[in-house]
Amino acid sequence: MTPHPTRRARRCLAAAAVVTASVITPAAATPGPAVSWQPCADNPRIDCASVPAPVDWSRPDGETISVAVARRAATEPSQRRGVLVYLPAGPGSSGVDAVVDDQWFGLLFPPEIAARFDVVGFDPRGVQRTSPVRCDAAVVAELDRPAPRSRREFDELLEAQAAVGTDCRARTGPVFDHLDSTQSAHDVDAIRAALEVDTVDLYGLSYGTVIGQRYAELFGSRLRTLTLDAVYDHGASPDRFDVTAALAAQESFDRFLTWCADTPSCELHGRVVRRIVADLFAAADEGSLVDPAEPDRPLDPTALTDRLVSPLTRPDLPDVAHRIAVLAGLAAAPAAADAPPASGEAALPIFTVCADTRVDATSWEHQVALARA
């Protein structure tokens, strides 16, 4: 696999122009009324609640939002050590779902942790149950295009991104301009205060590590322990971000190759998979690669990278093998279906990234440099 600019970075190019991060003076969250826990609708054994928080923590008396929270009590109360707050990945992943869903919870937290901690998850602002970013689906669909290959296409992409930013801000409301990790760190401290505990343990996964880092900077004295897993460096330059993301994808792909070579059940076992994938990227560069399920829509290198990398993050190695086999004509593809035109609203939590990360590739020349990095 070869590195290509990520869709995430390209979507942030113009979005950064319409998202403004706030600068907030650290302060203690004002203790509010005790949280009113109720059985969660999807799992009555788990408790759910909401914690009020200001839209803008620099104006604590202003308009508020409700932060969705779920709590799974320690299974061994006599061994309980405190409260562990989960900072979800994404952005866009739900911390509430991670605590409510038994299977998901079991993947994240071993029995030893579940026994000793009340595990609390929340949906960060802009995500799912907590004032989600809302956008016109048809406007968002305009971003689903190949990576620009000319200055004209780059300018058209910037225009499409600017339109998305304007639309999403209008539909989402004031919270749209306050999605950064500083605001979210204050939300976490409001959760801590509502739980009436002096300190918390935090576990941040992937993008959740950004919130964890910020909480440690602002409220270090209120931390008992901090675990950052798969750290996301939101201070990295666009060049560095793309290169490190590509290197991580390459490492995961190399592990897939080893697995496929050693596993007879792999759909591509016994084949030179690296050569097959290289041929797919060559076809994508030429503009001749298509998904058999969508024959009228060529796959460019960026789309192909997305197609192969996404199952590596789960990880679902058999799915990677099947996707490669289908694209290479070595396996049957599902019947093509006519996709209905985009309509209604779409969630777009990517703006959480844009609130913290300033992507500077606003010129065609820089875009070309990123593609070659």
- 327 vs 321: CA distance, rounded Å: 10
* pLDDT value for 350: 76
Burial class, 115, CB count within 10 angstroms (exposed 0-12 / middle 13-18 / buried 19+)? middle
DSSP reduced 3-state for 255: helix
Q: Which two tokens stand for residue 39?
A: 């059985």
91-131 residue pLDDT tens: 889 999 999 999 999 999 999 999 999 999 999 999 999 99
Q: Which element (helix H / strand E) includes 217?
A: helix 208-219
Q: What is the pTM of this model?
A: 0.80
Answer yes or no: is pLDDT of 360 > 70: no
Region of residue 53 (phi > 0: left; psi between -120 and 50: alpha; otherwise: beta): beta
Question: What is the percent of the chain where pLDDT is above 90?
Answer: 62
Q: pLDDT of 223-279, one tens digit each? A: 999 999 988 877 777 677 778 878 888 999 999 999 999 999 999 999 999 999 999
Residue 184 pLDDT exceeds 80: yes
126 torsion bin: left (phi>0), alpha (psi -120 to 50), beta (else)? left
Nearest-10 Cα torsion for 69, 74, 75, 76: -170
Pick the residue with more confidence: 308 or 244? 308
Question: DSSP label at 89?
Answer: S
On the question of pLDDT at 135 being above 90, the answer is yes
Note the pLDDT tens digit of each residue in 29-48: 555 556 899 999 999 999 99
- Residue pair 336/294 in contact (Cβ under 8 Å)? The answer is yes
Of the pLDDT bands very low, low, confident and very high (cuts 50, 70, 90), residue 11 is: very low
pLDDT at 311: 85
Least confident of 49-53, 329-333, 351-355: 351-355
For residue 196, pLDDT beyond 80? yes
Task: Tell me what the mean pLDDT of segment 329-355 comes to.
Answer: 72
**Lowest mean per-residue pLDDT among 111-115, 209-213, 237-241, 336-340:** 336-340
What are the CA-CA distances from residue 241 to residues 214, 237, 245, 247 (Å)?
19, 6, 6, 10
What pLDDT is recorded for position 7?
46
pLDDT, position 316: 87
Does position 319 have pLDDT exceeding 80, yes or no?
A: yes
Percent of the chain topping pLDDT 70: 86
